[in-house]
Amino acid sequence: MNDYDWVCAENEGQAKEYYKKETGFNEDEIEEEFLGDVSLNDTMLVSVDDLPEEEKMITQLYMRNVGGELFVQKPFSWVIEKENITKPCIICSTEY
């Protein structure tokens, strides 16, 4: 969506409409900041605590300590499948 929020949706229009309702930003604000689609192979950080038990036993690549919590990189496709995401949502956000 932009530099700080990623929206999971079936298409660009659905993502923008959801984001408008969710955040209260108007269409011009959304268009101004919109960065476009990203690949489902792009990754996001997932807390090790949120991994399924079977994956906690497997060595994870790209572990990162952020604020005293361990995170691993997982592709958006993995998160969508594991979280069973079926409707638009903010799938990932950067905290400032």
Helix (H) or strand (E) holding 79: helix 76-82
Place of tokens 């959801």: 18
- Give the residue numbers spanning the domain of 49: 5-93
The pLDDT confidence band at residue 50, using thresholds 50, 70 and 90, is: very high
**pLDDT above 70 for 11:** yes
Tally of structural domains, the chain: 1
pLDDT of residue 62: 80
pLDDT digits (tens, 9 = 90+) for 29-49: 999 999 999 999 999 999 999
Nearest of 1, 6, 4 to residue 76 by alpha carbon: 6
Spatial distance between the Cα atoms of 73 and 69, rounded to a whole number of angstroms: 13
pTM score, whole prediction: 0.85
**pLDDT above 90 for 77:** yes
